[in-house]
C-alpha cells in the first residue's frame, strides 16, 4: 500500500483564514488593549452565547482553570466523585483545589460515569460530582441530578469536549451547577489555548468573573480569593475568526465520522461508542478493539504509513500513582487499553479516510 507523503495526526486545529484573524486583531494592536476583559473578549463571550443559545459564559485561559474555578467558587473541600476515563486535567484540577478525587467506574458502552455506581461511593465527606461528557456524549444528567439533590452535592461537568452539543432541547453546557469547557487547539472550537465556565446561576456567574480577575469586584476591590484566569484579546480574536467557520467545521466532522463508520462498522473486532447522533458533535473518531493486541497491530501498521492515531484516554486515571491509591475500575481500565482515536479534522480528505480504513482492514486480513 502506498505510503502517505505528509503525516496524518489525530487532529489539526480548525483555523479561519489568517487575514480574517489579523483583521479582527488589528484594533487591539492599535489601541494596545491586549487583556483585562477587553472588547474582543466581551464580543467573543456574547457571540458564543448567541451561537450556543446560552445566557452566560465566562471565558478563561484554559479548560483546566475552567474546572478549578467552580471548585473554588463553590468552596468544595472534601471528596469529589469523578471518572477514571478522562484526561488527567479532570483529576488534577480536583487535586489542585485540595480536594480528593474518588473514582467511580464508567459504563463501557457510553464511556461515561455509570450513575448506578455513584451512590455506593458517597460518604459523609463527599461534596461534589465531576462527570465528563466523553467525546461529547451526554452523561445521564437526570440520574446525576437526582443523586446530587438527594445528597446535597454540587455537580461540575467537565464539558471540555461538549461544545455545540444539544441535549434534551438545550446546550449540554447548561447542565449541572457549572460546566467547564476547553478551547484548546485540539478541540472542536479553538482559541489556541482557552476555555470557559458556563452556569445559569447569575450570582455564581458573577463570582466566577471575580475569581478570574484576582478576586476584584467592579470597583477594583479584592473581595474574593481569586487568581489570574483572564483570556487575552489575541486569543479572543482567534476565537472570533474561528467562530465564523464553525458551521463548516461541524458539517465536515460529521461527514468524516459517517465515512469512517460506513467503512469500519462491519468489522467484528471493532466496536463504537454508544451515541445518539442528535446529541453528539463528532469531534472524535474513537474505535474500541476487541483486544489490546489488535490495537497494537493497527497502531503499528498506521504508524508505518505516517498515520498517527492516538490512544485517548490512556491510561485509565485510577492506575496513575501520582493521583490516587489504586482502586480497581475494570470497565475504564479495559476501555483505556483498547481505545484508539483516528485522525479527524476538517482538512482530512475522503481519500485519506479510505486509505486509513483500507490499512485497518488489511491489517486483519493478513493475520
Ligand atoms: C476531558 C478533558 N478535560 C479537561 C481538559 C483540559 O483542557 P485544557 O487543555 O484546555 O486545559 C481536556 C483537554 O485537554 C480534556 O480532554
Assigned CATH topology for domain 18-244: 3.40.640
Residue 97 banded pLDDT, cuts 50, 70, 90 = very high
pLDDT at 15 over 80: yes
For 43, residues 6+ apart whose C-beta sits below 8 A from its C-beta are 236, 240
CATH number for the domain running over 246-365: 3.90.1150.10
pLDDT at 2: 56
Residue 364 banded pLDDT, cuts 50, 70, 90 = confident
**Average pLDDT of the chain, as a whole number:** 96
* Residue 181 alpha carbon to ligand 1 centre in Å: 8
pLDDT in tens, 174-218: 999 999 999 999 999 999 999 999 999 999 999 999 999 999 998
C-beta of residue 42 within 8 angstroms of C-beta of residue 239: no
pLDDT at 257 over 90: yes
Percent of the chain with pLDDT over 70: 98
pLDDT in tens, 131-178: 999 999 999 999 999 999 999 999 999 999 999 999 999 999 999 999
**Location of C-alpha cell 457549572:** 178
pLDDT in tens, 116-139: 999 999 999 999 999 999 999 999
Q: How far apart are CA 202 and CA 206, in angstroms?
A: 6
pLDDT at 363: 87
pLDDT at 73: 98
Q: How far apart are CA 236 and CA 227, in angstroms?
A: 19
* Residue 101 alpha carbon to ligand 1 centre in Å: 16
pLDDT at 366: 57
Q: How far apart are CA 367 and CA 350, in angstroms?
A: 26
Q: Is 160 in the pocket of ligand 1 (CB under 6 A)?
A: yes
Q: How far apart are CA 71 and CA 65, in angstroms?
A: 10
pLDDT at 1: 56
C-beta of residue 253 within 8 angstroms of C-beta of residue 283: yes
C-beta of residue 41 within 8 angstroms of C-beta of residue 231: yes
pLDDT at 350: 97
Q: Is 64 in the pocket of ligand 1 (CB under 6 A)?
A: yes
Q: Is 86 in the pocket of ligand 1 (CB under 6 A)?
A: yes
pLDDT at 346 over 90: yes
* Residue 63 alpha carbon to ligand 1 centre in Å: 5
Segments making up each domain of the chain, as ranges: 18-244, 246-365
Amino acid at each position: 500500500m502506498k505510503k502517505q507523503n505528509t503525516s496524518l495526526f489525530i487532529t489539526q486545529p480548525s483555523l479561519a483564514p489568517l487575514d480574517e484573524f489579523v483583521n479582527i486583531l488589528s484594533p487591539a494592536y492599535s489601541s494596545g488593549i491586549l487583556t483585562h476583559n477587553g472588547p474582543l473578549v466581551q464580543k467573543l463571550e456574547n457571540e458564543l452565547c448567541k451561537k450556543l443559545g446560552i445566557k452566560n459564559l465566562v471565558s478563561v485561559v484554559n479548560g483546566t482553570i475552567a474546572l478549578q474555578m467552580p471548585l473554588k467558587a463553590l468552596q468544595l473541600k472534601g471528596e469529589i466523585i469523578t471518572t477514571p476515563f478522562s484526561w488527567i486535567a479532570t483529576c488534577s484540577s480536583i487535586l489542585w483545589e485540595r480536594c480528593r478525587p474518588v473514582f467511580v467506574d464508567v459504563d463501557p458502552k457510553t464511556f461515561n460515569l455509570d450513575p448506578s455506581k455513584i451512590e455506593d461511593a458517597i460518604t459523609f465527606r463527599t461534596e461534589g460530582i465531576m462527570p465528563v461528557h466523553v467525546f461529547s456524549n451526554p452523561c445521564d444528567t437526570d440520574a446525576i441530578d437526582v443523586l446530587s439533590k438527594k445528597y446535597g452535592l454540587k455537580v461540575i461537568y467537565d464539558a471540555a469536549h461538549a461544545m455545540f452539543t444539544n441535549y434534551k432541547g438545550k446546550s449540554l453546557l447548561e447542565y449541572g451547577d457549572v460546566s467547564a469547557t476547553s478551547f484548546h487547539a485540539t478541540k472542536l472550537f479553538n482559541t489556541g489555548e482557552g476555555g470557559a465556565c458556563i452556569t445559569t446561576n447569575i450570582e455564581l456567574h458573577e463570582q466566577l468573573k471575580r475569581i478570574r480577575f484576582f478576586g476584584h469586584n467592579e470597583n477594583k476591590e479584592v473581595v474574593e480569593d481569586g487568581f489570574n484566569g483572564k483570556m487575552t484579546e489575541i486569543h479572543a480574536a482567534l476565537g472570533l475568526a474561528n467562530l465564523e467557520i464553525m458551521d463548516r467545521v461541524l458539517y465536515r466532522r460529521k461527514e468524516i465520522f459517517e465515512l469512517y463508520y460506513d467503512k469500519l462498522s462491519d468489522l467484528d473486532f471493532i466496536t463504537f461508542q454508544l451515541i445518539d447522533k442528535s446529541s453528539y458533535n463528532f469531534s472524535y473518531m474513537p474505535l474500541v478493539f476487541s483486544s489490546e493486541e489488535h490495537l497494537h497491530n493497527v497502531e503499528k501498521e498506521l504508524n508505518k504509513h505516517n498515520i498517527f492515531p492516538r490512544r485517548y484516554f490512556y491510561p485509565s486515571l485510577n492506575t496513575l500513582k501520582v493521583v490516587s491509591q489504586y482502586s480497581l475500575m475494570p470497565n475504564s481500565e479495559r476501555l483505556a487499553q483498547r481505545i484508539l482515536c483516528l485522525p479527524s479534522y476538517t482538512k482530512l480528505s475522503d481519500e485519506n479516510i479510505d486509505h486509513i480504513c483500507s490499512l485497518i482492514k488489511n491489517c486483519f486480513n493478513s493475520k
